[in-house]
Structure 1
Amino acid sequence: MDKYFDIKKRFEEKEDKENAAQMAKYMRDQFVFYGLPTPKRKALYKDFLKEEKKSGQIDWAFLDRCYEDEHREFQYLACDYLTALDNFLAYDDIPRIKAYIKCKSWWDTTDSLDRVIGQIGLRDSRVDALMLEWSLDDDFWVRRVAIDHQLCRKEKTNTELLEKILVNNFGSDEFFINKAIGWSLRDYSKTNPEWVRAFVEKHADRMSKLSVKEAGKYI
């Protein structure tokens, strides 16, 4: 059976319409859901991802179909697929990933895809310059990915790049940008609280109250 229709059948068999309505409401009724909680959804394609890893390559046609499907669970599957097979991704694949970032954009998928970009960046230094470019993009979801692509890097965080990207996004009145700025600083404060404290002291007058509040949660 075609892999897309195989997964679709699995989703349809476990559909929970009551939960689907609640999930849609949580996402401001922007998307249609099957109503599958994360553990149940991931269990339905765990074996599929395991087999896909053996192929050693990304099936972009399959991922495109996932993004074309109206059900949000298929976009979650695409994100989990890219995360699971991230070792097979290269710098030249980033335009494809960017297309997904800009398609049906919301925090749920964006905050998965930023990690995917981040993993590529750990292997290819060209991503640094690209993220600096993205930090000035007209699409604030693309900027959000640039801001948060270094999450969880700890000692591997490029602080010079982080500062430039954050400064590029000061003055925004977009909640998802200001939240991301604070989130990136909060995450890095677990590794280097002194750097984050100094950054906030230096830039507090240009940062939103939300960013300052988020940045200071652990310092």
Structure 2
Amino acid sequence: MDAVKSLVSAVRNGLAGLADPAKAPAMQAYMKSEMPYRGAQKPARAALLKRVIAEHPLPDRVSFSSAVLTLWREAEFREERYAAVDISGSRGYGRWQDSGLLDLYEEMIVTGAWWDYVDEVAIRRVGPILRAEPETVTPLMLTWAYDDDKWRRRTSVICQVGSKAGTDTDLLTRAIEANIDDKDFFLRKGIGWALREYAKTEPDWVRAFVAAHAALSNLSRREALKHLGG
């Protein structure tokens, strides 16, 4: 686990070096975060992570998962969790992106419980695994669509954003219908977002879907038809 300790230490020290205490309070306030920020800006963080990942490679799947979870669970500043999310999606570790990581991503979704974490994990981690292993992931997303946790439910709705022609419209329909009456802003916004993105590929399908679902909230409907003249 020396590789894990080395990478985690390099991330923490690097973020400390990028800290800007003058910017941190505004960043925390904008994200409505209980966890404090260091004030490290995104471009600088991205450059840091690129260098650290190259200099501290993780040799196997176990060390990869351990590094991500260590940064995530032990985070004292929000940027450390951003680093965990970024490392989880590093191209160099793409060979481990399969359904075996769903428990890790579920933990990040449920304990992160805010859009800045959840949307990245849902769309760029869970989504590709869904497309690669639909037989395994589709039933899970259908279960999540009815879960008590709204962030699992939002994940089930938005996980296909960017799937384009590969979108499973049955899954999309069922995930939306499971949440169509929920008044939560993030669910309503997520429904509209998912439909708006799919409208770039199949506008007629989205128009028909909206027309057939009178229960859609005004927010969801407006977002879905945003670029369709609706």
| Structure 1: segments with no counterpart, 5+ residues | none
Residue of structure 1 aligned with 2:98, choices 87, 90, 93: 90
Tell whether the 8 Å contact from 1:86 to 1:119 is kept in structure 2 after alignment: no
Quote how far apart the aligned CAs of 1:161 are. 1.1
Tell whether the 8 Å contact from 2:7 to 2:53 is kept in structure 1 after alignment: no
Alignment of 1:189-204 (within 5 A): 189-203=199-213
> Is 1:41 aligned with 2:61?
no
TM superposition score normalised by structure 1: 0.94
Alignment of 1:70-219 (within 5 A): 70-84=76-90, 85-115=93-123, 116-125=125-134, 126-203=136-213, 205-219=214-228
Quote how far apart the aligned CAs of 1:57 are. 2.8
TM superposition score normalised by structure 2: 0.90
Question: Where has structure 1 moved over 4 Å in runs of 4 or more?
Answer: 51-54
CA displacement, residues 17-44 of structure 1 (integer Å, 9 cap, x when unaligned): 1111110010124221111111111111
CA displacement, residues 85-114 of structure 1 (integer Å, 9 cap, x when unaligned): 343122122112101111131100001110
Tell whether the 8 Å contact from 2:164 to 2:201 is kept in structure 1 after alignment: yes
Quote how far apart the aligned CAs of 1:53 are. 6.5
Tell whether the 8 Å contact from 2:99 to 2:129 is kept in structure 1 after alignment: yes
Q: Distance in 1 between matches of 2:162 and 2:56?
A: 26
CA displacement, residues 129-153 of structure 1 (integer Å, 9 cap, x when unaligned): 1101111110001111111100101
| Structure 2: segments with no counterpart, 5+ residues | none
Q: Distance in 2 between matches of 1:89 and 1:183?
A: 25
Residue of structure 1 aligned with 2:21, choices 17, 24, 27: 17
Provide the identity percentage: 32
Q: Distance in 2 between matches of 1:194 and 1:6?
A: 50
Letter in 1 for 2:22: E
- In angstroms, what is the RMSD of aligned CA positions? 1.6
